[in-house]
Every structure is written in structure tokens, then in C-alpha cells.
Structure 1
Amino acid sequence: MISESQGVRYLHFNSEWIQGAMRVNRPEKLEFEYTQQMMAWLLFLAPPVDRGVGILGLGAGSLTRFCQHHFDSDVVTVEWNPQVTAICESAFELRQTASCRVVHEDAQDWVLDPVNENSYGALMVDLYDYTAQGPVCSSDQFYRGCRRVCADLGVVTINLFGHHGSFRKNMRNILRAFDDRVILFPETIDGNRIVIAFTGPPLQVTREQLQQRARRVQSLYRLPATGWLRTLLQENGKTGELISF
């Protein structure tokens, strides 16, 4: 089902839950706080040019449109349901190209496929069905597959529901899969809690370098990156001038 209000088009899957949104006159804009926070990997990694950007879960195509608009990277979105892709193409400005495409596959199969190992610099995981009752992929094996997709050097962002019963199980499996190299945003007003997980060599960066990067991200992409950085450092107890992830 599609609805529209005050210039924003919404996608629903036979329930009151909103699966995604698009501002009609600015299709590349990220409407929801949690979708903006899914891009927080930009604080730590420039859009990769030698590897791709991966998105697990198409929804209304918000993350896909944003990446296609702003990056030169190859963008691959994994969506198991071709009907969702068809809706996004007809009503949500999804335009597939050679460098921005949707593959119809189960997300767990995709992350475990050896062909995708170490092929991506950034991976965004937003896997909810129409009931929005916790992620549809949440196993230790799945999250280890996410790590392998970005093996040498990368950042993975994951959308969880902080108040849902699945949160602790997912966090336990994420922490195990990424060797505890994980930081979190506080819960959004809508209940989303975004996890950021790191792969590759240990990352050490000065506070000033992070602040410079946040200002650049904010300027380039019109995202609240300086506020993200303050929140993340405070929420995760990252103090001092040299910060480790």
C-alpha cells in the first residue's frame, strides 16, 4: 500500500508499519532519523571506489537512492521480493543502472556467498518484514557473513529495535561476530537503534580528525554528522584525544 502526506510518499506492507518514505520533490533525501544514522559509516570511511556499497533490504529504496545520488561507488541492494523492487521502480524513483542494481536473493545466502567476500567497503543492514517484529536475519552465522563481506577494511551499520525482545540476541551475535568492535547510537524516537561495527585493522584516530571528517560529511551530504559524532562518543564512553574503534 502507498500513502502520501505533506509531500512525502510512504510504503506499507499490509500493516500500519511504514516500510519507507520518499520526499517527492527530493527523492534522494533521507526522511527518517534512523535512515540518516545508517549512513554514519561516512564518519569513518569515505565512499569506496575500489569496492562496493552493499544494502540488505530495499524497503522504499531510501538508502539506495541516497547512495546512487551522492556516490560514484557501485551500489548493490539485496531484496528477496521482486514485487518490492517493482513498487520502488513504479512509485519511488528507483532507477537501476550498471552501477546501481538490485539483486533478488535471500540476504543470508548473499552474505555467505564466497563471491561477495571482501567485495564491499560499507554494508547497511535493514532487514524487517511487514510485521516489523525484529530482523529477519539475526544469527551468529549471518553477522559473521556480514563481516566477511567487508573483511579487509569496512564499516557495517545495522538497524535494530532497541525496545524489542530480539535486541539482546542480535547484540550478542553482533559483538561475537565483530570481536566487540561495535558502537551504538541511542534509541531514536521511533524505537530504532543503529549499530556500527568495524572490520579490518584496529582504527585509531584523533578526536580532531573525527571532528574534521564530521564537518566534511555534514557539508557534502547535508547529514547531521557533527551531532552524530558528539552523541556516539558520549554514548560509547570514547574519551581522550586518541579514539580507538
Structure 2
Amino acid sequence: MTPRFAPVTFSELDGVRYLHFGTEWVQGAMRLRKPDAIELEYAQQMMAWLLFLSPSVDEFHVVQLGLGAAALTKFCHRQFSRARVTAVELNPAVIIAGRSMFGLRQDDARLTVREQDAWDYVMDGTHADAIDVLQVDLYDATARGPVLDTTAFYRACRRTLKGPGVMTINLFGDHDSFPKNIERICEAFDNRVLVFPEVHDGNIIAMAFNGPEIDVAWEVLEARAEVVESTTGLPARDWVQKLRAANARQEERLKI
């Protein structure tokens, strides 16, 4: 009988612990001396919603689809003391690994880890218009494309978002799944999508927006990035530079 899930495995190199699903593909990472930091560049870029939203507002809710090594979940829970953080993960072994190998805390008043299919979560009508930020990182052992990638899924993701709300999603640029995913995300979000340049390991982060139109000078975003960088340690100024360089027709102002 074929197991439902690939085995959860680990490796360590140069002070970094990696999560795998029985293959060489990296599903997450944690620097042992900085367990609450976000180690991988693409995962850091998934926090770029901070350029547009403030997690200090009342009832702010961040949802992670696909727990991985829990880097984003841990970071949001630690950094944003007023925010509620939910992680949705189908594989119970990944949740166990997060808590035993990657320092994920037990649930509390602000943190909830749900053993659930991401499809079921976004299709649940009780989550409509309830989420400020949706961070989507859904890969299996082959790590070549998201396991949920239909237009229907992305439309359901949008329905969960407040207005304003942002979805960030990890895509794999070196695979034929990339163009179809971008097309479907654009269809679901009325082309309100920004894309980062590909990072060295092939990942590409896209951001999709719900709610009022954004019309902001790049200088304003750069000033916001300085605040984000000083308060979180994330490379937010680099995000602004890369977004400006990678997205056409956005030379003077960001309009989306």
C-alpha cells in the first residue's frame, strides 16, 4: 500500500537545518543559531506584504497554507504581537517536525496550527473576507509545482481575503507550471499581480492584491521599506528595488 505522504526527512549543513520530503528538494530551513529568523530568500520575500499592510491593526489575521519548516509562522507569531496567525498543513508529520525540529510553539491565543487540506480551508465559507494576508507555499516531494494550482483554488484564496488583503505565493520559475500558475492567479485577481525576480534556487514569489486600487510613489514604498527593515530585520529595501525592476510599466508610481 502506497503511503499517503512522502517521508519527512532532515539534513544539516553549515549550521542550517533543512526539511525534506524524502528527496533532495528543500522544503524549508532554519539556522540553528537564529531559529526565529527566516533563512531562505524566497521565504523572506513572502513577507513583502509588509510594504502595503500593517500587522498592528485590530484583528489582523495571517494565514499560512503549507507549514514547511514553520519559518513564516514562527516569524509572524513572534514579530506581530497583535496579529492572529494560522497555519494549515495536511501532513501531521510536518506539524510534528515543526514542533520537534524547528522550534514551532504549541498553539496559544494567537497561534493555531490546523491539520487540514488547504483546499478545504479556503473553500470554507466561514473564512470569506476574514484574512488580511494569505501566504501560500504548497509543494509535495517533487517540489516542481504547487499541488493546488487551479483558477478555482486561486479564486477561493481571493474570497478569503479582506479588502485590502494580499496573497503571497511561492512558485517555481524553472518548471512549466510557472506560466500557467501566473495566468491563473492573474485571472483570479483581475491582473493585480506583482512578481519578484527569480532567486538563485529557482523560486519566484508573486503577490496578488484584493481590495482598493493601490497608487503609490516608489519613494513612499522606499520609506515604508526602511521602517520594515529597521523593525523586522527583513531586506525590505531590496524588495522595493526588485519589484520596481521586475514589473513593467511601473517606472514612476506603483499602480495596481
Query: TM-score by structure 2 length?
Result: 0.92
| Alignment correspondent of 1:191 | 202
For 2:219 and 2:45, the matched residues in 1 are separated by: 21
Cα offset, 1:119, TM superposition: 1.1
One-letter amino acid matched to 1:117: A
**C-alpha distance in structure 2 between counterparts of 1:3 and 1:227, whole Å:** 29
* Per-residue Cα deviation, 1:6-41 (whole angstroms, up to 9, x for no partner): 221111111111111111121111111100111111
2:63 to 54, 57, 80: 54
1:120 has 2:131 as partner: yes
CA displacement at 1:130 relative to structure 2: 1.3
Distance in 2 of aligned mates of 1:18 and 1:234:
28
Structure 2, gaps ≥5 residues long: 1-8
Is 1:239 matched up with 2:251?
yes
Give the RMSD, CA atoms, in angstroms: 1.1
| Aligned mate of 1:43, from 30, 34, 51 | 51
CA-CA distance at 1:219 after TM superposition: 0.7
Among candidates 215, 220, 228, match of residue 209 of structure 1: 220
2:79 maps to 1:70? yes
Deviation at 1:152, TM superposition (A): 2.0
Q: CA deviation at 1:98?
A: 2.2
Q: Name 2:4's counterpart in structure 1.
A: none
Question: Partners in 1 of 2:138 and 2:254 — Cα distance?
Answer: 30
Q: Unaligned stretches of 5+ in structure 1? A: none
Q: How far apart in 1 are the matches of 2:27 and 2:245? A: 30
Contact 1:51/1:119 (CA < 8 Å) preserved in 2?
no
1:208 deviates by 2.3
Q: Where does residue 16 of structure 2 map in the other structure? A: 8
User: For residue 87 of structure 2, what is the amino acid of its counterpart?
Assistant: T
Percentage identity across paired residues of the two chains: 49
**TM-score w.r.t. structure 1 length?**
0.96
The superposition leaves residues 159-207 of structure 1 with CA deviations (integer Å, 9 ceiling, x where unpaired) of 0001101111111110000000001001111000000111001111222
Q: CA deviation at 1:71?
A: 0.7
Report deviation, 1:231. Answer: 1.2
**Match of residue 153, structure 1, among 150, 164, 168:** 164
Deviations 1:50-107 (A, max 9, x none): 2310100001111111111101200000101111101111111010222111111111
